[in-house]
Amino acid sequence: MSLLRPRDVIGHVHDITPEFLAARGLRGLLLDLDNTLIPYGSYEERADVMAWVAGLRRAGIRLYLLSNATGKRARFWLDKLGFEGVGMAGKPNPRAFRQALAQLGLPPQQVGMVGDQLFTDVLGGNLAGMHTILVHPLEGNALPHTRAARRLERAVLKRYGHDWRA
């Protein structure tokens, strides 16, 4: 069960500041895309997210996108966001996390995995020995398997004393 437990639970990526990262000894982040940075399936640029990314990069934080979205969708967003990453990552498969950590050139203890799903982002990040940060999903989405996963996530989070994912 503890592999599903996030180290931090936050409302929005904006809660992750250079000070937040320094306090946790983190120098890089692996970032989920859908419902973490961008509403599920959206192609609309968000000025607030771009400003957040720019602020972290100015602070020297290394960023890498680790998304299960199609390669085409991931590429579209990588071009906009201006850092490296991959789509079709197959999270929580540990291989994707190992490859991403190698690209960042940082040990897992110095990297935060930021995502909105327990069974992909948090599980994979914990398996890789990373500091996992669960973010409230930007928007619900209609995929039946995701709705089923959300119900399970709520049950797990409640056990951990987090009741915000109503």
Binding residues (CB under 5 A) for Mg ion: these are 32, 34-36, 116
Q: Which is nearer to Mg ion, 35 or 131 (CB)?
A: 35
Integer angstrom CA distances of residue 165 from 10, 72, 114, 115: 11, 30, 16, 14
Rounded Cα gap, residues 108 and 128, in angstroms:
7
Q: Which is nearer to Mg ion, 56 or 116 (CB)?
A: 116
Rounded Cα gap, residues 61 and 147, in angstroms:
33
Q: Which is nearer to Mg ion, 26 or 31 (CB)?
A: 31
**Rounded least distance, CB 37 to Mg ion, Å:** 9
**Rounded least distance, CB 36 to Mg ion, Å:** 5
Rounded Cα gap, residues 13 and 10, in angstroms:
7
